[in-house]
């Protein structure tokens, strides 16, 4: 049957939950980052679903908002990966469990 608002929201929710699980459970910092990216994408999806189906004169506001989340996600990914690489340079590991020293 044709996909309505509930279907898109459901997919968004499941994606968010899996991204959340990945972010919390992965040992490698890059794995955590992947989880975060997935969560941001799920949010984008839900935003667009609402902007597409909800009443309201101008659905474009939802899409404008998604553009801003994409830019924030890109900036955040760049900085997080830079962080991971520089931590790797000092610690030779980016294993989330082992990174407990605050001193450089």
Partner 1 sequence: MEGVGAAVAFWTLAGVTLFAAAGIMFSRNLLHAVLLLILTFIGIAGFFVLLSAEFLAMAQVIIYVGAIAVLVLFAVLLTPRAGRDNGESKMLLPAVLLAVCLGAVVLFVITDTSWNTVPSAPAVEHEPKVAASDLGEALLSTWILPFELASVLLTAALVGAILLVRSPEEEAEDMPS
Partner 2 sequence: MSGIVRSEPFTLNIGPQHPSTHGVFRVKVTVDGEKIVDAEMVMGYLHRAMEKLAEERTYTQNIPFTDRADYLSSMSNNLGYVLAVEKLAGIQVPPRGNAIRVIMAELQRIANHCMAAGTFINDTGAWQTPVMWTFREREKIIDLFEMTSGARLTCNYMRIGGVAFDLPREFEPRARQLLEGLPGFFDEFEGLLVQNEIFLARTRGVGVVPPETAINASLSGPMLRASGVAWDIRKADPYCGYENYDFQIPLGYQGDSFDRFLVRIEEMRQSARIIGQALDGLPGGPHSTQVPLALRPPAGDAYARVEGPKGELGYYIVSDEGPSPYRFHIRAPSFINLSVLKEMVVGGTVADAVVSLGSIDIVIGEVDR
With CA atoms as reference, report the closest residue to 49 among 12, 1, 2.
Answer: 12
99 sits near partner 1 (criterion: CB under 8 A): no
Indicate the residue among 92 and 97 with the shorter CB distance to partner 2: 92
Convert residues 42-81 into a mask of x (bound to partner 1 by CB under 8 A) and - (unbound).
Answer: --xx--xx-xxxxx--xxxx-xx-xxx-xxxxxxxxxx-x
18 sits near partner 1 (criterion: CB under 8 A): yes
Interface residue list for partner 2 (CB under 8 A):
88-92
CA distance 85 to 15: 27
Indicate the residue among 52 and 91 with the shorter CB distance to partner 2: 91
CB atoms within 10 A of CB 54: 10
CA distance 28 to 80: 13
With CA atoms as reference, report the closest residue to 82 among 36, 33, 39, 35.
Answer: 33
Indicate the residue among 27 and 91 with the shorter CB distance to partner 2: 91
Binding-residue total with partner 1 (CB under 8 A) = 76
32, two tokens: 């955590």
74, two tokens: 């890109």
36 sits near partner 1 (criterion: CB under 8 A): no
Residue of 36, 90, 93, 103 that binds partner 1 (CB under 8 A):
93
């Amino acid at each position: 049957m044709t996909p309505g608002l509930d279907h898109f929201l459901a997919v968004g929710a499941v994606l968010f939950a899996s991204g959340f699980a990945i972010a919390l459970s992965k040992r490698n910092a890059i794995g955590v980052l992947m989880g975060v990216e997935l969560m941001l994408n799920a949010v984008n999806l839900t935003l667009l679903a609402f902007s597409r189906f909800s009443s309201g004169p101008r659905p474009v506001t939802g899409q404008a908002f998604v553009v801003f989340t994409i830019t924030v996600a890109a900036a955040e990914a760049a900085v997080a990966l830079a962080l991971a690489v520089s931590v790797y340079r000092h610690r030779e590991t980016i294993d989330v469990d082992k990174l407990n020293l605050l001193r450089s």
